[in-house]
Amino acid sequence: MKTMSKIQAALAAINWPDNLILAVSGGVDSTVLLHAFKQFRPQQALTVAHVNYHLRPESDGDAAFVEELAQQHGYPFVQKDCHLTGTGIEEKARDLRYAFFHELAQQYRSAGIVLAHQADDQAETILLKLIRGGDLASMTGMAQQDGLLYRPFLGISRAEIATYAQEEGLAWREDWTNHDPEYTARNRVRLQILPALDELNSRTSQHLNQFGQELDHKLDLLKQQAELYLPQFQTDYQQVPEAWWPEVSRLLIQKAGLYKIKKEQLNQISDLLHNRQKAQGEIDLGQAWRFVKNYHQVGIKNAKNFAKRAEERPSIVLELDQWQFFANNWVKWTQKPPEPGFDTLALPSSNDFKGLRLRYGRPQDRLNLKQGHKSLRRLWIDEKFSNDARRSTWVLANSCTDDLLAVRLSEKRWRFNQNFTTDSITKPSWLVWRIEEKPSE
């Protein structure tokens, strides 16, 4: 009765969504989970999901058992068949079933996928991670709720679940591969390592679970402080205590949607931030993502967005009083005073001036000054432009000679070629632009 109350309390402790996908393999854990939902939450709408990997002769029997179980309880049943080959079967199977469960959740408009992982599974997971090594964040166990995933049995042991099954007279399927220590690393931990540790302390699994819970709590505190540091870190990382750079870097990367962060990458980021001789730099995060340092500023970018060289990207010759499209903006060169609500640049005009080209800047472009000239590359350095800002720098050039006339330094600031600004002005004109649908003429 005590075990039944514990399982009932575990289900009652969660605020369940209206519609659930329940993953059932046919083993004792998921069989008990299905039975518990029927017994303690009979009004809960759920769909029973099963994956048949066809890896064992008994696989079809497992699928038939789960389907019959679902029918007995009055739940819809959905099965996915697959045939896995090659190496890394365990990882492939895991990726496949999670993808299947998420597909079902989308198909059935479900906000919850329920899994039968229990306390001993959690202990095995944490111990495996400790053995494999990594930073603290990689040592955590499974979360009771993680996105759509729910694991109500993480506080219940395998023995308690077996007791419930026996008391309720439940039948289930046994997978012989779970009893082969050579089949997977997890099996070896379950069948050999944890029993050996239990000889030293019979509460080993319980202590591993407690360690996981305390680690989650400490990491949550670290994340809360990192959140406070993050805005300052992005604008001037040197104002944040150095001890916090790895944690805030991790949070910045996670906010970009990247969660598989390697310790080696964090070490490379730390080296880059400490290198005062390198004002700019990038660290590869995989899948075209980069951690970027630009003087005292840091950020995350996707390199796919900047794959083209400036010389290969579009340029336009501006036609007077005609709206044209450039760099996600509608732009116009006009001699009529612009209407309010547009970004504008007042341009000088001269007798020698025939037309304008709007394009992206190139490092070799030169801007004439009162004394000598300055390359655009040098101007970028002086202005502390990031690599991304350099790639997206607008310049105005003479449409005939392509000589530089003006450089856009920010949304509201341009720098003119000295010759362009000192020529005798015969008639004013403006460059007008705005990000929106094409303005009316």
Q: What angle do CA 39, 44, 45 make, to 5 degrees?
A: 130
Q: 251: closest CA among 271, 269, 270, 226?
A: 226
d(CA 171, CA 28): 8
Helices 245-255 and 263-274 pack at an angle, to 10 degrees, of: 120
Share of the chain residues as helix, strand and coil, in percent rounded to the nearest 5: 45, 20, 35
d(CA 94, CA 365): 54
Q: 390: closest CA among 271, 283, 295?
A: 295
User: How far apart, in Å, are the Cα atoms of 212 and each of 118, 135, 392?
Assistant: 14, 14, 46
Cβ contacts of 179 within 8 Å, gap of 6 or more: 187, 191
Does 26 belong to an annotated binding site?
Answer: yes
Phi, psi of 350 (to 5 degrees): -135, 170
Token pair in block for residue 289: 């993502």
d(CA 380, CA 65): 69
Does 395 belong to an annotated binding site?
Answer: no
Token pair in block for residue 161: 């679940």
Does 27 belong to an annotated binding site?
Answer: yes
Does 28 belong to an annotated binding site?
Answer: yes
d(CA 181, CA 192): 7
Three-state SS string across 360-399, please? ECCCCCEEECCCCEEEHHHHHHHHCCCHHHHHCCEEEEEC
Q: Which residue ranges make up the annotated binding site?
A: 25-30
Q: Which residue ranges make up the annotated binding site for ATP?
A: 25-30
